[in-house]
């Protein structure tokens, strides 16, 4: 870990200025310090934002929730409103990491966690994300946990968050504050960049731009689930995950909001998959057609080829669960 200046921010505005020159915000720190110990990340300053008043969950006028960026994963998962009306989010959070990590990790930090690609983590290996232009050792290395969608020849990393997958299915928006005082809202689709030829750039956030919160839209009718498939029963990253919100009307699918983890450099959502489902009567054939659509552009890199089959099976299973008539 390189030496750094430690600065405790006492206002969001100050923090955005303090971070501008080679600094980085630290909240929970559970991923940042992990990477700093390995010098995969080596900021010159840490701007500690933990004292900012961004740890509230408030109801919005239109029936949604505004989640402060510093709300911990535990507090968000355990919020009674979230458990009742946005259960897919609680489920995703509870499926992630461990209780200890959830107690420290924050909403903003979770959105910005870095990939778990083992080549990104190893400074002896080529990685375009860590060191632009050095190459990608993962493509022809051991790539079992890596992406099959949204990759580029420069990077096949996945985004590891469970929470963000649920938020993407829920249509959440990220609120930010820029150094010049301007605020903006971004969908998760807008927030994240695909690797392309600049895998080191993971989001559209500008230097000094601080995530201040996430807004969930009002609850919608339907069933919600988060299915996480992983190597261990607990405390493991997703190989594939599906966040699903499905509503039925008269035996037909009226809503199918679906997001996927473990497959891509960002929480994945495919409007065409959902369009294909809505208005239709549930059937295994239909679900497989949805999977065909989801995976139309997917490609594996050897060790991770199984993710195509796993994603298909998991999607079909989740859709079956969410559309079946309960007795």
Window of 23-31, 170-178, 211-219, 263-271 that interacts with other proteins by CB under 8 A? 23-31
Q: What is the DSSP string of 225-262?
A: EEEEE-SSSSSS--SEEEEEEEEEETTEEEEEEEEEES
324 is a contact residue toward other proteins (CB under 8 A): no
Site for other proteins, residues 277 to 316, rule: CB under 8 A: 306, 309-310, 313-314, 316
Nearest-approach distance from CB 43 to other proteins, in angstroms? 12
State how far the Cα of 37 lies from the Cα of 228, in Å rounded to an integer.
29
Output the six-digit token pair for 154.
């420069």
| Ordered strands of the 57-59 beta sheet | 57-59, 65-68, 210-216, 173-177, 183-187
Block residue for tokens 């007795």: 327
99 is a contact residue toward other proteins (CB under 8 A): yes
Residue 172 three-state SS? coil
Q: What residues pair up with 223 in beta bridges, in sequence order?
A: 246
Residue 92 three-state SS? helix
Among 10, 56, 58, 84, binds other proteins (CB under 8 A): 84
Q: 216: number of CA atoms within 13 Å, CB side?
A: 28
Task: Pick between residue 83 and residue 252 the one whose CB is nearest to other proteins.
Answer: 83
Do the bridges between strand 23-26 and strand 65-68 make them parallel or antiparallel, or are there none, so unpaired?
unpaired
255 is a contact residue toward other proteins (CB under 8 A): no
Count CB neighbours of 72 within 10 A: 21
Task: Pick between residue 174 and residue 308 the one whose CB is nearest to other proteins.
Answer: 308
Site for other proteins, residues 183 to 242, rule: CB under 8 A: 229-237, 239-240
Task: Pick between residue 194 and residue 316 the one whose CB is nearest to other proteins.
Answer: 316
Task: Pick between residue 216 and residue 229 the one whose CB is nearest to other proteins.
Answer: 229
Nearest-approach distance from CB 35 to other proteins, in angstroms? 9
Binding site for other proteins (CB under 8 A): 1-6, 8, 26, 28-30, 33-34, 37-39, 46, 48, 50, 74, 77-78, 80, 83-84, 87, 90-91, 94-95, 97-101, 103-104, 116, 118-119, 121-124, 137, 140-142, 144-145, 229-237, 239-240, 306, 309-310, 313-314, 316-317
């Amino acid at each position: 870990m390189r030496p750094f200046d430690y600065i405790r921010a006492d206002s969001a505005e100050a923090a955005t200025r303090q971070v501008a020159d080679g600094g980085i915000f630290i909240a929970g720190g559970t991923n940042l310090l992990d990477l700093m110990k390995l010098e995969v990340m080596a900021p010159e300053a840490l701007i500690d934002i933990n004292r900012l008043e961004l740890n509230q969950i408030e109801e919005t006028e239109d029936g949604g929730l505004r989640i402060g960026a510093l709300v911990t994963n535990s507090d968000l998962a355990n919020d009674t409103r979230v458990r009742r009306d946005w259960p897919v989010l609680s489920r995703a959070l509870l499926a992630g990491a461990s209780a200890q990590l959830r107690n420290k990790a924050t909403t903003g930090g979770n959105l910005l966690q870095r990939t778990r690609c083992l080549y990104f983590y190893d400074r002896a290996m080529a990685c375009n994300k860590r060191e632009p232009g050095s190459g990608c050792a993962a493509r022809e290395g051991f790539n079992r946990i890596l992406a099959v969608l949204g990759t580029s020849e420069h990077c096949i990393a996945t985004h590891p968050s469970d929470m963000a997958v649920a938020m993407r299915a829920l249509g959440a928006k990220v609120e930010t504050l820029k150094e010049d005082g301007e605020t903006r809202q971004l969908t998760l689709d807008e927030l994240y960049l695909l690797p392309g030829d600049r895998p080191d750039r993971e989001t559209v956030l500008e230097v000094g731009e601080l995530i201040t919160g996430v807004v969930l839209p009002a609850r919608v009718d339907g069933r919600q689930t988060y299915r996480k498939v992983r190597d261990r029963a607990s405390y493991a990253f997703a190989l594939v995950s599906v966040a699903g919100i499905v509503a039925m009307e008269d035996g037909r699918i009226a809503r199918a909001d679906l997001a996927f983890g473990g497959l891509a450099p960002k929480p994945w959502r495919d409007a065409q998959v959902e369009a294909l489902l809505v208005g239709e009567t549930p059937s295994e054939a239909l679900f497989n057609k949805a999977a065909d659509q989801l995976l139309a552009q997917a490609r594996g890199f050897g060790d991770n080829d199984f993710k195509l089959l796993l994603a298909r099976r998991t999607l079909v299973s989740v859709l079956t669960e969410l559309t079946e008539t309960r007795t």
